[in-house]
Chain A
Amino acid sequence: MSEDKKQDDPIMQWVTFRLGDEKYGINVMQVQEVLRITEIAPVPGAPAYVLGIINLRGNVVTVIDTRNRFGLMFKETDDASRVVIIETEDHIIGILVDSVAEVVELRGSEIETAPNVGNDETSKYIQGVTSRENELLILVDLNNFLSDEEKQEMDMF
């Protein structure tokens, strides 16, 4: 591939994690750290997708139940469970995942738009899909992971 083409088609790194049978990817630039499960304090009156809050070196961080967010069945946490601390445009949140897999490199041209046949609001955080090792990887746009209203709610915890 020529130098011009490489610039037009930059490589991005994605942290991949698992939820149930599916593998998801998030932009590595937005991942601050990956934590083992610590005590998550429930927040009274919080929406169902909010598991609770954790104290991260003196900062209160809201942890999202990603399974609930993606419409998957509840699963008890285990040794493989992780809280991925991510930085969106204006918030720092934690997302609970079944396990963190690896960091992969993808070219923009390898990412295909996922079909959207449902509610625009719920699916706008799916950036695209790509095929990798005989498996589909679903890429999540963390900036659209929460709606504006939900981001405002985060500030209340």
Chain B
Amino acid sequence: MQAKKVIPQVVQQEIALDSYLSTLLDDIPSNTELDQQELKVEVKPQVATQVKTSTPIVEKIITKPDNQDLDVTKPVRPLAVMPEWARSEFQALFFKVDKFILATPLTELLRTIEVDKKPTRIPGQPSWFMGLLDTHEQRIGVLDTGQLIFGKTIGQQRDLEKQPFQRILITGDGKWGLACDEILSIGKLEPDKVRWRTLRQKKPWLIGTVIDELTAVIDVNHLVPHRKAN
């Protein structure tokens, strides 16, 4: 009788074990999920490799250091853009246009004259071209320095009838005259006392600033127009 009682316990244990094992085995069918997980795992590396192989980004990253290399060479440029006359101490003429004081090297100028008559205006020319003027030795094209430097908007506000320019700086080639209000002085300038502009794509005539006086240094050769052949 006792043995009969034990058997059901064993059976129950076996059933329980079967049930447990079958449960474990039942979990296995979720193999599909595992497969998917495996797939996902497989996909991830692919994505990663795709990113790696997205060459434009990689190339951009690679090209950057090259640019930086170029930037490293920039500090050399200020010397390269300095005009010949600015390599050592030079004499500059300080003059006034409106309320602004400007400086230009004497080597770029022929002489200065007083405005004793109005230039002859030529029709069809820009407003900054004041006209032609016969001086003692040659005929010069007179330019409204105010308009050339400060732009038409500010420069044109000046009424030249009421407030005419008093002096003209004649360029070294004797072709152009830059009208101004006053000749102030001639002074010596050391190159290291001038902050030279490195980028001169815009306003190429503005080549630097005298650091102490904050006076703009003008290269008149870049300020005057180049005559077109008629």
Contacts and interface: CB of A to CB of B under 8 A. Distances in A.
Q: Do A and B come from one complex?
A: yes
B134 A131 contact: yes
A129 B120 contact: yes
Contacts of A116: 125, 227-228, 230
Contact of A123 (B120, B125, B225): B125
Interface of B: 118, 120-126, 129, 132, 134, 139, 141, 225, 227-228, 230
B120 A117 contact: no
B123 A71 contact: yes
A79 interface: no
Nearest to A114: B122
A67 B126 CA distance: 16
A117 B230 contact: no
Majority DSSP secondary structure for residues of B touching A = loop
Contacts of A117: 125-126, 129, 141, 225, 227-228
Nearest to A67: B123
Nearest to A127: B230
A120 interface: yes
A126 B122 contact: yes
Given A116-B227, A116-B230, A131-B134, 4 more contacts: A114-B122, A114-B230, A118-B129, A134-B134
A21 B139 CA distance: 18
A100 to B, nearest CB: 18
Nearest to A20: B121
Contacts of A21: 118, 120-121
A22 B130 CA distance: 13
A144 to B, nearest CB: 11
A153 to B, nearest CB: 19
A123 B227 CA distance: 13
A2 interface: no
Nearest to A23: B120
